[in-house]
């Protein structure tokens, strides 16, 4: 039996009623895309590997939207009430999704199951919107199905565009992830409830109108309460993740920066970037293992890519004969904290007060690409980056990136890379090795560790007779000497196992986490 909507008796003119429906479509589409982007962004931060998280969220949500569209067929006879219920539930679930996902990560250590569940539920609810809105717009004024679909999808796509742009440029910078999701949920609830109560209240009984009003008021109250509690919630979640002595917690456009400890009688100072431990206590084993082998040869001019905390810079400045150090750090907030925080300044030895140090706030890939060919090359390049599985890993551990870095390397110069754990993810480690060798550099693998941590490094070099830009076809020859320089910090050579000749990783074919 085919359901044909019966025109409703509206409290507003048909033209205005139709416009209000299309405005609601616009708002709901914008909110739906914000929920989607919130899940992708938060999952990428909490779990890592943004490509995988985006693929999971998008595929699950698209599938769930199809399921929601089918389920909405059962609600068409009471489309106004059904739409009000869907929007109230979507506002509540979508608004609380970011907070719930963060809570699962902080207190249970696993955000993956929550990511899938929220993607599924939100997708079902978003999928139910369009069939119900199609029924409502036909209740305003009967028109051919093709015209109604065209109008609805035009409003839907424009709303998605606005939501997609508002998320990175408005919601995240001004409100943050948690409050941004809650505000989006409130807008969603108001839009859905207002349309039904203002335009289609004649389709509802008095009891249904009271129920819709109470449900939306309850949703808005819960979202407002959670918004008021985001500060205490974030502090409690950080304490669950980092311990109870968090001193500094800053969320920048690029990452979350957390400093813990450093007080008298408490834990040693520790620096976390996006949940990853970057520095701990007074120990400098990681920085020594990273810098000493690379600076065993010529090291008059040194380039540090990343390393905004200043710890690698401190280690470089300890070497006699260093004339200039250039630091390329994309996040100015990290450098600002390294310059001003007493604990971090003590840890990095006030490295940024040294007149030999110059700082450029730029993406390392873009900076290397813009570097003038006539500028003096660097004797040493230190890649103090999060690892191939970290933010920007595919780009900052690619053949193209190392090709640009090799172009700025002086003949006889050295480049050192933190390439992750050798034993934890050997595939990624040896892929970094193959990628370095693919641009004409010789490599030597080594590892170091402290306090249960293990780091894998690759020391790459160019022969004295090589000119910049040459040797891309080689990748042979003796490995760079200098590993004994790191023996004091427990560095050990790693032998390339048979069959470890992984294909290089490129921008078009990233090979990490395969």
Q: Which pLDDT band, with edges at 50, 70 and 90, does 30 fall under?
A: very high
Query: What number of CA atoms fall less than 13 Å from residue 229's CA on the CB side?
Result: 11
Output 12 or 132, whichever has higher pLDDT.
132
Q: What would the two tokens of residue 511 be?
A: 């090979």
Q: Which pLDDT band, with edges at 50, 70 and 90, does 370 fall under?
A: confident
Residues 231 and 299 in one domain: no
Residues 313 and 367 in one domain: yes
Residues 31 and 152 in one domain: yes
CATH code, domain carrying 188: 1.20.1250
**What is the structure's pLDDT at 88?**
97
Residues 216 and 316 in one domain: no
The Cα 70–Cα 31 span in angstroms is 21
Number of domains in the chain: 2
The Cα 289–Cα 489 span in angstroms is 6
Residues 19 and 140 in one domain: yes
The Cα 397–Cα 385 span in angstroms is 9
The answer to whether 355 is annotated as binding is no
Q: Which residues pair with 401 in a beta bridge?
A: none
Residues 234 and 362 in one domain: no
Output 484 or 49, whichever has higher pLDDT.
49
Residues 355 and 413 in one domain: yes
Which position among 203, 331, 384, 466 bears the catalytic label?
384
Q: Where do the H-state alpha helices sit in 408-475?
A: 426-437
Residue 334 has pLDDT above 80, yes or no: yes
Evaluate whether 440 touches 406 at the Cβ level (below 8 Å). yes
Residues 227 and 318 in one domain: no
**In this structure, is residue 257 part of a structural domain?**
no
Residues 327 and 452 in one domain: yes
Name the residue range of residue 330's domain: 285-463+483-493
Residue 3 has pLDDT above 70, yes or no: no
The answer to whether 391 is annotated as binding is yes
Evaluate whether 480 touches 416 at the Cβ level (below 8 Å). no
**In this structure, is residue 260 part of a structural domain?**
no
- Which tens digit of pLDDT belongs to each residue from 262-281? 666 567 777 887 777 777 66
**In this structure, is residue 46 part of a structural domain?**
yes
Query: What number of CA atoms fall less than 13 Å from residue 426's CA on the CB side?
Result: 9
**In this structure, is residue 513 part of a structural domain?**
no
Evaluate whether 297 touches 414 at the Cβ level (below 8 Å). yes
The answer to whether 381 is annotated as binding is no
**What is the structure's pLDDT at 328?**
95
**In this structure, is residue 262 part of a structural domain?**
no
**In this structure, is residue 179 part of a structural domain?**
yes
Distances (CA, A) of 21 to 108, 125, 454: 42, 18, 58
The answer to whether 255 is annotated as binding is yes
**In this structure, is residue 8 part of a structural domain?**
no
Residues 218 and 348 in one domain: no
Residues 209 and 87 in one domain: yes
Residue 211 has pLDDT above 50, yes or no: yes
**In this structure, is residue 472 part of a structural domain?**
no
**What is the structure's pLDDT at 227?**
95
Of 207, 241, 275, the residue that ends a domain is 241
- Which residues, in sequence order, are CB contacts of 490 under 8 Å at separation 6+? 285, 289, 448, 449, 450
Output 388 or 266, whichever has higher pLDDT.
388
The Cα 463–Cα 301 span in angstroms is 17
- Which tens digit of pLDDT belongs to each residue from 466-514? 443 333 334 444 445 455 454 545 677 887 777 666 789 898 888 876 5
Q: What is the mean pLDDT of the chain?
A: 85
CATH code, domain carrying 355: 3.40.50.150
- Which tens digit of pLDDT belongs to each residue from 155-168? 999 999 999 999 99
**What is the structure's pLDDT at 480?**
54
**What is the structure's pLDDT at 317?**
95
Q: Is 384 one of the annotated active-site residues of the chain?
A: yes
Residue 402 has pLDDT above 80, yes or no: yes
Residues 189 and 108 in one domain: yes
């Amino acid at each position: 039996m085919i359901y044909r909507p019966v025109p409703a008796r509206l409290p507003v003119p048909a033209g205005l009623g139709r416009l209000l429906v299309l405005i609601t479509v616009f708002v709901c589409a914008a909110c739906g895309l914000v929920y989607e982007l919130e899940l992708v962004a938060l999952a990428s931060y909490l779990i890592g590997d943004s490509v995988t998280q985006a693929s999971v969220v998008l595929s699950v949500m698209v599938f769930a939207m199809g399921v929601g569209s089918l389920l909405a067929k059962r609600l068409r006879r009471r489309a106004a009430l059904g739409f009000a219920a869907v929007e109230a539930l979507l506002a509540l679930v979508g608004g609380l999704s970011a907070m719930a996902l963060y809570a699962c990560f902080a207190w249970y250590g696993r955000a993956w199951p929550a990511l899938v569940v929220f993607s599924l539920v939100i997708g079902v609810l978003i999928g139910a919107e369009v069939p119900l809105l199609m029924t409502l717009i036909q209740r305003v004024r009967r028109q051919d199905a093709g015209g109604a679909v065209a109008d609805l999808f035009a409003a839907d796509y424009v709303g998605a565009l606005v939501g997609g742009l508002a998320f990175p440029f408005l919601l995240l910078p001004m409100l943050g992830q948690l409050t941004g999701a809650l505000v989006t949920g409130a807008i969603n609830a108001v839009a859905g409830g207002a349309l039904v109560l203002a335009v289609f209240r004649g389709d509802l009984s008095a009891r249904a109108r009271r129920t819709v009003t109470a449900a939306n008021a309850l949703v808005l109250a819960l979202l407002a309460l959670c918004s008021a509690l985001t500060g205490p919630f974030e502090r409690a979640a950080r304490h669950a993740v980092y311990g109870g002595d968090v001193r500094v917690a800053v969320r920048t456009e690029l990452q979350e920066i957390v400093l813990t400890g450093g007080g008298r009688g408490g834990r040693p100072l520790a620096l976390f970037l996006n949940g990853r431990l970057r520095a701990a206590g007074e120990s400098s084993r990681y920085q020594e293992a990273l810098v000493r082998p690379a600076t065993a040869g010529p090291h008059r001019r040194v380039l540090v890519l990343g390393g905004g905390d200043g710890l690698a810079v401190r280690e470089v400045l300890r070497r006699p004969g260093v004339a200039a150090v250039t630091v390329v750090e994309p996040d100015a907030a990290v450098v600002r904290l390294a310059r001003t925080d007493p604990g971090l300044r003590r840890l990095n030895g006030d490295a940024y007060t040294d007149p030999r140090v110059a700082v450029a706030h730029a993406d390392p890939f873009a900076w290397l690409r813009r570097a003038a060919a006539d500028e003096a090359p660097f004797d040493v390049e230190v890649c103090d980056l999060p690892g191939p599985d970290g933010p920007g890993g595919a780009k900052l551990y690619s053949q193209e990136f190392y090709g640009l870095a090799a172009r700025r390397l002086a003949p006889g110069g050295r480049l050192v890379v933190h390439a992750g754990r050798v034993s934890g993810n050997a595939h990624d480690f040896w892929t970094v090795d193959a990628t370095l060798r693919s641009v004409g550099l010789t490599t030597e693998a080594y590892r170091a560790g402290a306090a249960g941590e293990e780091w894998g490094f690759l020391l790459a070099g160019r022969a004295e007779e090589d000119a910049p830009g040459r040797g891309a076809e080689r990748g042979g020859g003796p490995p760079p000497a200098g590993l004994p320089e790191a023996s004091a910090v427990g560095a050990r050579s790693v032998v390339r196992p048979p069959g470890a000749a992984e294909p290089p990783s490129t921008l078009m074919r990233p090979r990490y986490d395969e």
